[in-house]
Amino acid sequence: MSKKSGFTFIDLFAGIGGLRTAFEGAGGRCVFSSEWNKFSQQTYEANFGDVPEGDITKIDENDIPDHDVLVGGFPCQPFSIAGVSSKNSLGRVHGFLDETQGTLFFDICRIIKAKRPKAFLLENVKNLKSHDKGKTFKVILNALREQLGYDVHYKIIDASTQVPQHRERIFIVGFEEPMDYEFPELEDKRPKLRSILEKRVAQKYTLKDGTWNSLQRHLAKHKAKGNGFGYSLADRKGIAKTLSARYYKDGAEILIPQRNKNPRRLTPRECARLMGFPDDFVIPVSDNQAYRQFGNAVVVPVVKEIAKSMIQCMQHGKKRITIMDYVK
């Protein structure tokens, strides 16, 4: 990879393009994208001018363009380690294909195997590391390191230094060659929630009496049982809880207090800001779909810094000396 030239990447499980926004911001050019959800495809097209390919399981890896970096926020599905019935997808019946058969992570592996990108970045919920007592993550690392031969690094990062939201996600970085890579130290900006709030908000975002009363009863019920479930009134001078894809239901995890009124939900634009998307990011879908989309998205500024650190590492040739180098 030339120090002066840009780099190419592909965007898998693309959602609405949070990873693409970040990697383009780091100087990359997207040459392929895949996303099966039709509403996410609409938002993606409105912002990037092209419609992602559909179901990744039906895409031939050999039809995907060559690229420098593979990026993907793959869904965390249950990993079936035993009892695999079909083992012939790539003409092999052993190794990581057995362990990850039937999962979407398998599709990332087959694409990496076929295209051998110089690097990859994968993103997932932080619980991926502890899922099934660590067995799932062990399978993933084994596939990436032992079966595919990549130098793999991972870290759980809280985005609250970049956006006013507590949001922990695991990032997995891999290089085709051994690299002295370190995740970037993010500048501690600690923005306040009030910085992303709109000054004028339509009445429709204020909770109706029925919804608000129901949430209060729900909280009281669980509080009596000693549970922590219920709604959360956000502090404008602090940070919000994690925005989830279920936010469209009642907004319970992040409610904005209002004087002499029921609390309100965040608007879709505020959700976009909470995830670090620029204000010119187009939201062409309904509010409910927008809530789902931003709840599933990545925090753009965090990924942009990781992308820049990856490219700098590759461009400056920070190759780690291994025993094989001495043998040569």
What is the set of active-site residues?
76
> Percent helix, strand and coil across the chain, each rounded to 5?
40, 15, 45
Cβ atoms of residues 161 and 272 within 8 Å:
no
Pull the structure tokens for residue 35. Answer: 């996303």
Pull the structure tokens for residue 174. Answer: 């891999």
Cβ neighbours of residue 215 closer than 8 Å, sequence gap 6 or more: 207, 230, 231, 250, 252
Torsion angles phi and psi, residue 147, rounded to 5: -85, -40
Taking alpha carbons only, the member of 98, 147, 156 closest to residue 129 is: 156
Q: What is the DSSP letter of 53?
A: B
Integer Cα distance of 135 and 82 in angstroms = 12
Pull the structure tokens for residue 316. Answer: 């400056």
